[in-house]
C-alpha cells in the first residue's frame, strides 16, 4: 500500500522541504508494520485507528509497534473518526494520505475489502474533505469471489468523488491497491521527485513500476 504514495510524491517532497511533516491516517493497524515503515522510513506523522484493542496489544507486544510523538494509535471506528474530522473542518487536520486496510467477512462470500460502508458516497466525501488538496486515498481491495460486480461498482463510485484513479496489481491474484487522488496528477509517478521517492523505492522495490491509471 505504501507504494501508492508515489502518486503524490512531488507534493510530499515539497512539504518535507518546507519543514512540514506529511500526515497519514491508517484505518486498520494490524501488526503495525505499515505504520512503522511510514513513520520511520518516510518521516510521516502517523495516526492509526484499530477497532480491536487486542490487535493493538499484540502489535505492541509482539510486532514492534512503538508509539511516539509522531505515531499515535487509537481504538475505535475508523469511519466514525473520519466523519468526526470532516465535521470539525479544521485545516490542520488535513492528511497527505489516508490508507484503508479494513476487511469484512461473510459466511457466503468469504473475506472482502474494504467493507461496503467504506465505499458509500458520503463516506468518500468525508475522506476527500480531510485530505490535503494533493492528497490520496489508498485502499487495499479484495473483491469477493462471489460478486464480480464489486470491484467495478467501487471504481465507479470513486470516479464520482475523486479526480484520478490508479491501481497496483500486487501479483497474488487476490487483491489490488487502488489510489484515488483529490487533484489531477501533473507528473508521472515514476518521475524524479527527489529524496522522498528515493526512500520510497527502498521500501517498495519495483511495485512503483506497477502503478497504472484506471
Consecutive 10-residue averages of pLDDT for the chain (214 residues): 93 91 94 93 94 94 93 95 88 85 66 87 95 95 80 94 94 86 75 78 88 92
Nearest to 96 by CA among 188, 166, 4: 4
pLDDT of residue 169: 83
How far, in Å, CA of 78 to CA of 26, rounded? 8
- Residues 179, 138: contact at Cβ < 8 Å? yes
Phi and psi at 2, nearest 5°, equal: -60, -25
Which option is the CATH number for 2-204: 3.10.100.10, 2.30.30.100, 3.40.50.150, 3.40.50.300?
3.40.50.150
pLDDT of residue 174: 78
Structural domain boundaries in the chain: 2-204
How far, in Å, CA of 48 to CA of 18, rounded? 25
pLDDT of residue 205: 82
Amino acid at each position: 500500500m505504501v507504494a501508492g504514495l508515489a502518486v503524490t510524491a512531488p507534493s510530499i517532497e515539497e512539504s518535507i522541504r518546507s519543514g512540514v511533516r506529511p500526515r497519514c491516517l491508517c484505518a486498520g493497524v494490524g501488526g503495525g508494520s505499515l505504520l512503522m515503515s511510514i513513520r520511520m522510513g518516510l518521516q510521516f506523522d502517523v495516526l492509526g485507528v484499530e477497532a480491536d484493542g487486542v490487535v493493538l496489544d499484540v502489535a505492541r507486544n509482539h510486532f514492534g509497534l512503538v508509539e511516539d510523538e509522531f505515531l499515535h494509535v487509537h481504538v475505535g471506528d475508523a469511519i466514525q473518526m473520519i466523519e468526526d474530522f470532516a465535521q470539525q473542518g479544521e485545516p490542520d487536520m488535513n492528511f497527505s494520505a489516508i490508507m484503508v486496510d479494513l476487511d469484512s467477512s461473510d459466511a457466503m462470500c468469504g473475506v472482502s475489502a474494504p467493507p461496503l460502508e467504506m465505499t458509500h458516497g458520503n463516506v468518500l466525501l468525508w475522506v476527500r474533505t480531510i485530505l490535503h488538496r494533493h492528497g490520496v486515498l489508498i485502499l487495499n481491495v479484495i473483491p469477493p469471489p462471489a460478486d464480480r460486480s464489486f470491484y467495478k461498482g467501487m471504481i465507479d463510485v470513486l470516479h464520482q468523488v475523486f479526480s484520478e484513479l490508479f491501481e497496483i496489481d500486487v501479483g497474488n491474484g487476490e487483491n489490488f491497491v487502488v489510489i484515488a487522488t483529490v487533484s489531477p496528477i501533473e507528473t508521472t509517478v515514476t518521475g524524479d521527485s527527489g529524496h522522498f521517492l528515493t526512500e520510497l523505492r527502498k521500501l517498495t522495490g519495483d511495485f512503483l513500476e506497477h502503478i497504472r491509471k484506471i
